[in-house]
């Protein structure tokens, strides 16, 4: 029997039982869509984080105290600068601050870094308005886009040329006034900080504002990528385990490992729905075999072989698997772009209720190889689920089948 004839008989069975076939296809579609939508999130998050980390450059080393008992000072900066292969050592001070403006307040991050080293850490920044703070200023700040206007507000909190009140400290908070001199274009998250949700000022200004006498972190730039390992080994030789040292390569590996495991976990959870859909296919195929017992007897009486009958029923399962899989990929692709919007809105609302305005965004990535693999998996589930009912139909005695009412 020709393959085209087998396919026609399979399609005929689907057309005769449209509602049942539609429900089966729906089950496969939901399972496939869940896999695509969830896996694309982890792929997008991984890509976003790695892109931001890579903006620091492959020759960047992050150094932080390993415990609260360790402090980083200018002495440490000078010491690390003496290591061969080191080009820059950029000290950074960060602290949570509450900004008051526009009749409301929000929590943001204050970042202190020398203006000459600002673009070493945060590259390719653009200004929506104004300029970067002066190197010797103790009061000028350049703010991220969400500081000027948080996502949950319809009006700006601060403006260039105006002063703003910031509150530092949780136990005994102190309020101080700063002058807004610039606003950055929307940037997103860097490996250092969420740029959009930060206020930037001179290093000495931030230390004076927060009352700190030490740095939160040091970012080391080597002369080239080949010098990174040598510099790391020398820093470890000097400080031992007192410092936490991470290279861009290590951060990328950690992110890839975590998101890879998360992808497998979410994919496995979503794949369960495909197996449930497979059980539905098996159940429907069994019912179909029982209902079409007499038809099977007629087919065999007309000369259809056991293999022909088997292939007819398997073609039904395959067609439903293909249709459900393709629709699932399309629907899952659409849902995957809705999830980040909902997550961002939810995080903004939650943060806003606690007086914060931290933003969170990424673009999901739908890899063609994963989509193809999911489609093949959906078809395989449909075939496996339909095989036993199809085999049972092919083994029917035509005489007994023709006597069936």
Q: CA geometry: angle at 198 spanning 152 and 104, to 5°?
A: 40
Q: What one-character-per-residue DSSP string does 259-287 give?
A: HHHHHHHHHHHHHHHHHHHHHHHHHHHHH
Residue 258 confidence (pLDDT) above 90: no
Name beta bridge partners: 25. Answer: none
pLDDT, mean of residues 283-302:
74
| Average pLDDT of the chain to the nearest whole number | 84
Q: Which residue has the tokens 């398997």?
A: 314
Residue 356 confidence (pLDDT) above 70: no
Residue 99 confidence (pLDDT) above 60: yes
Phi/psi for 25 (5° steps) reads: -60, -40
pLDDT score for 65: 92
H/E element, 152 = none
pLDDT score for 298: 74
Q: What one-character-per-residue DSSP string does 29-69 give?
A: HHHHHHHHHHHHHHHHHHHHHHHHHHTT-TTEEEEEESSTT
Residue 353 confidence (pLDDT) above 50: no
For residue range 299-346, list pLDDT tens digits in order. Answer: 777 777 878 778 887 888 888 889 999 999 999 999 999 988 887 665
For residue range 205-239, list pLDDT tens digits in order. Answer: 999 999 899 999 999 999 998 999 999 999 999 99
pLDDT score for 395: 76
135 with 202: CB under 8 angstroms?
yes
pLDDT, mean of residues 292-300:
73
pLDDT score for 354: 36
Residue 154 confidence (pLDDT) above 80: yes
Give the C-alpha separation, 197 to 58, whole Å. 25
pLDDT score for 84: 94
pLDDT score for 351: 41
Under the banding of pLDDT at 50, 70 and 90, the label for residue 350 is very low
pLDDT score for 90: 93
What stretches of 230-297 adopt beta strand conformation (E)? 243-247
H/E element, 221 = strand 217-222
Residue 42 confidence (pLDDT) above 80: yes
Residue of higher predicted confidence among 348 and 141: 141
116 with 135: CB under 8 angstroms?
yes
Residue 2 confidence (pLDDT) above 90: no
Query: Considering the chain, what percentage of its residues have pLDDT values greater than 90?
Result: 38
Average the pLDDT over each of 65-79, 244-258, 290-304 and give the range with the smallest value.
290-304
pLDDT score for 355: 40
Query: Considering the chain, what percentage of its residues have pLDDT values greater than 70?
Result: 89
Under the banding of pLDDT at 50, 70 and 90, the label for residue 159 is very high
Residue 221 tokens, joined? 């730039």
To the question of pTM greater than 0.85 for the whole model, the response is: no
Residue 202 confidence (pLDDT) above 90: yes
């Amino acid at each position: 029997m020709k393959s085209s004839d087998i396919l026609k008989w399979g399609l005929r069975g689907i057309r005769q039982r449209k509602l049942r076939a539609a429900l089966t296809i729906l089950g496969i579609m939901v399972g496939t869509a869940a896999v695509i939508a969830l896996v694309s999130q982890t792929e997008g998050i991984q890509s976003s984080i790695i892109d931001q980390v890579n903006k620091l450059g492959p020759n960047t080393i992050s150094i932080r105290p390993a415990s609260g008992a360790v402090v980083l000072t200018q002495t440490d900066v000078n010491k690390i600068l003496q290591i061969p292969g080191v080009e820059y050592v950029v000290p950074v001070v960060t602290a949570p601050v509450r900004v008051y403006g526009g009749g409301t307040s929000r929590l943001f991050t204050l970042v202190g870094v020398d203006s000459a080293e600002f673009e070493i850490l945060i590259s390719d920044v653009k200004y929506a308005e104004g300029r970067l703070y002066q190197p010797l200023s103790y009061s000028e700040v350049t703010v991220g886009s969400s500081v000027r206007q948080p996502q949950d507000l319809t009006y700006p909190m601060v403006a260039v040329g105006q002063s703003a009140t910031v509150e530092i400290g949780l136990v005994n908070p102190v309020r101080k006034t700063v002058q807004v001199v610039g606003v950055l274009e929307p940037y997103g998250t860097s490996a250092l900080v969420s740029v959009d949700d930060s206020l930037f000022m001179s290093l000495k200004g931030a230390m004076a504002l927060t009352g700190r006498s030490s740095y939160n972190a040091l970012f080391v730039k080597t002369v080239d990528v080949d010098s990174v390992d040598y510099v790391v080994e020398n820093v470890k030789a000097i400080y031992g385990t007192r410092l936490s040292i991470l290279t861009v390569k290590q951060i990328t590996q950690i992110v890839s490992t975590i998101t890879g495991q998360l992808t497998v976990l979410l994919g496995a959870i979503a794949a369960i729905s495909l197996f449930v859909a497979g059980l539905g296919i098996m159940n429907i195929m069994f019912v179909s075999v029982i209902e079409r017992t007499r038809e099977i007897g007629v087919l065999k009486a007309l000369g259809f072989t056991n293999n022909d009958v088997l292939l007819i029923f398997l073609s039904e399962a395959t067609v439903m698997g293909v249709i459900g899989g393709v629709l699932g990929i399309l629907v899952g692709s659409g849902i995957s772009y809705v999830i980040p919007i909902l997550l961002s809105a939810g995080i903004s609302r939650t943060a806003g209720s606690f007086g914060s305005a931290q933003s969170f965004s990424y673009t999901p990535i739908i890899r063609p190889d994963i989509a193809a693999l999911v489609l093949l998996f959906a078809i395989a589930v449909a075939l496996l689920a339909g095989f036993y009912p199809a085999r049972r139909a092919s083994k029917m005695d035509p005489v007994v089948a023709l006597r069936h009412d």
